[in-house]
Amino acid sequence: MDSIHVTGNGPLNGEIPIAGAKNACLTLMPATLLSDEPLILTNAPRLSDIRTMSMLLESLGCEITPNADGTVQELRTAQITNHKAEYDIVRKMRASILVLGPMLARDGQATVSLPGGCAIGARPVDLHLRALEAMGAELDLRDGYVHATARGGLRGGTFEFPIVSVGATENALMAATLAKGTTVLKNAAREPEIVDLALCLSRMGAQIDGAGTDTITVQGVDRLHGATHAVVTDRIELGTYMLAPAICGGRVLLKGGRRDLVSAFCVKLEEAGIGIEETPDGLVVERKGNRVRPVNVVTEPFPGFPTDLQAQMMALLCTADGTSVLEERIFENRFMHAPELTRMGARIDVQGGTATVQGVDRLRGAPVMATDLRASVSLILAALAAEGETVVNRVYHLDRGYEQVEQKLSACGAKIERVKAA
């Protein structure tokens, strides 16, 4: 298995281009199932999760033609030739559940493996299913699969999500575009990825109002057509690399970065003493002063502080001048990076969903293990500021969500390299 070797060597200076959002692309790709015409996605990130989604869609009958460098994906599903999303693919990536709503909406039938739990929590899909039921879907859970049918097609309905769910909002939104009549989704997720999906679906001919607010209204149409759509900037990749100069010192331009995508995160960084400037080319982040100030963080659905930046923020706070408290409210088991950071000299006490981080002067390099995508990059960030060498193992997690990490960071002066497994 590959590993990443990092040696902390002082401030970072330069530019880092931010790619298209993984989590937007993973919901835009299944939208191909709603139309027989081509959907062209530009600014697509080059990641293993995108390849997994391609494999899944191909297994359902979609033809996918990427351009030479993989940043443009042309998807065409002339016909859905297989309505079953198999366990072998779904178990690799939970976002696979996003094919359920579109298949059901187009053909009135879909069978999708239940994804099961994952390292960061139980992560059920009950809300996806309940929202589709509100549109008239009949569901039968058997043999580890959800068998969904909608005789005569889906029909509009009203559904209020009891808790905010990004994926369930996406599934319901896609399904509603082809349902008969009006669908109202209340307490909907407001993430930029939802707004991006709604924009793409509107380009395909859908009639959607209110995306980006907590109430989305969809007027169903008979058919959707092809479209070309540029994937929104990855706000989590943006926030992650904003933390690199925050941790090591220096000044870095995050090309394509926008403050409105990460505003709650920016407020916390500024509270810690980090300078952020919005320019026409992107965000410029600079650390003035020696140590950052401690801050308290609570993760929340958008527009709150994102759970997907909690691990990386913890890496920064490990060397703050005082004690910070991080409260994780989205997933019940998302502190697996804490024991690994502790191996690097951090002082962290985890009690349930709360981690108390007492800042230390300096972290020290150590062999550590990536446990999930965001945990793995938090270890790399910590390693950039640590004394000596850190070896991050199990980096396949990292490759799911970050393209060219070593290139992007070494272009700013970091000492980082990937060591290929023999």
Q: Identify the residue among 62, 89, 105, 125 touching ligand EPZ (CB under 6 A).
A: 125
Rounded to 5°, the CA angle 216-265-259 comes to 70
Q: Would you give the distance in Å from CA 309 to the centre of its chain?
A: 10
Q: Identify the residue among 121, 212, 249, 303 touching ligand EPZ (CB under 6 A).
A: 121
330 scored as a contact of ligand EPZ (CB under 6 A): yes
50 scored as a contact of ligand EPZ (CB under 6 A): no
- Which pair of tokens denotes residue 59? 């297994």
Q: Find the part of the chain contacting ligand EPZ (CB under 6 A) among 56-64, 120-128, 195-203, 261-269.
A: 120-128
Q: Which is nearer to ligand EPZ, 166 or 253 (CB)?
A: 166
Binding pattern for the stretch 249-278 against ligand EPZ, x by CB under 6 A and - elsewhere: ------------------------------
Q: Identify the residue among 11, 124, 153, 294 touching ligand EPZ (CB under 6 A).
A: 124
Binders of ligand EPZ among residues 197 to 226 (CB under 6 A) are none
- Which pair of tokens denotes residue 124? 């059920």
Q: Identify the residue among 106, 190, 374, 408 touching ligand EPZ (CB under 6 A).
A: 374
Q: Find the part of the chain contacting ligand EPZ (CB under 6 A) among 124-132, 139-147, 279-287, 343-351.
A: 124-132
168 scored as a contact of ligand EPZ (CB under 6 A): yes
Report the residue closest to ligand EPZ, judged by CB.
167
126 scored as a contact of ligand EPZ (CB under 6 A): yes
235 scored as a contact of ligand EPZ (CB under 6 A): no
Nearest alpha-carbon partner for 228 in 50, 106, 74, 77: 74
Provide, rounded to whole angstroms, the least separation between the CB of residue 212 and ligand EPZ.
15
118 is catalytic: yes
Answer whether 45's CB lies under 8 Å from 20's CB. Answer: yes
Provide, rounded to whole angstroms, the least separation between the CB of residue 364 and ligand EPZ.
27
Binders of ligand EPZ among residues 307 to 326 (CB under 6 A) are 307-308
- Which pair of tokens denotes residue 327? 């409260």
Nearest alpha-carbon partner for 247 in 84, 8, 1: 8
Answer whether 34's CB lies under 8 Å from 106's CB. Answer: yes
- Which pair of tokens denotes residue 220? 């169903």
337 scored as a contact of ligand EPZ (CB under 6 A): no
Provide, rounded to whole angstroms, the least separation between the CB of residue 392 and ligand EPZ.
17
E-strand ranges in 86-226 read: 109-113, 138-142, 145-149, 158-160, 182-186, 207-209, 215-219
Rounded to 5°, the CA angle 378-383-384 comes to 100
- Which pair of tokens denotes residue 100? 């359920």
Q: Find the part of the chain contacting ligand EPZ (CB under 6 A) among 30-38, 121-129, 199-207, 227-235.
A: 121-129
Active-site choice (25, 62, 118, 412): 118
166 scored as a contact of ligand EPZ (CB under 6 A): yes
- Which pair of tokens denotes residue 161? 């999500």
Q: Find the part of the chain contacting ligand EPZ (CB under 6 A) among 116-124, 140-148, 245-253, 341-349.
A: 116-124
Q: Which residues contact 303 (CB under 8 A, 6 or more apart)?
A: 190, 263, 264
Q: Find the part of the chain contacting ligand EPZ (CB under 6 A) among 31-39, 52-60, 76-84, 125-133.
A: 125-133
Q: Which is nearer to ligand EPZ, 123 or 155 (CB)?
A: 123
Q: What are phi and psi of 101, to 5 degrees?
A: -60, -50
91 scored as a contact of ligand EPZ (CB under 6 A): no
User: How far apart are alpha carbons 383 and 288 in whole angstroms?
Assistant: 20
Q: Which is nearer to ligand EPZ, 100 or 295 (CB)?
A: 100
E-strand ranges in 67-105 read: 73-76, 84-85
23 scored as a contact of ligand EPZ (CB under 6 A): yes
**Exposed e or buried b per residue across 393-409, where buried means at least 16 C-beta atoms within 10 angstroms of its C-beta:** bbbebbbbbbbebbebb
E-strand ranges in 187-304 read: 207-209, 215-219, 227-230, 250-255, 274-279, 282-287, 297-298
Binding site for ligand EPZ (CB under 6 A): 23, 26, 94-95, 121, 123-128, 163, 165-168, 307-308, 330-331, 373-374, 401
Which residues form the catalytic set? 118
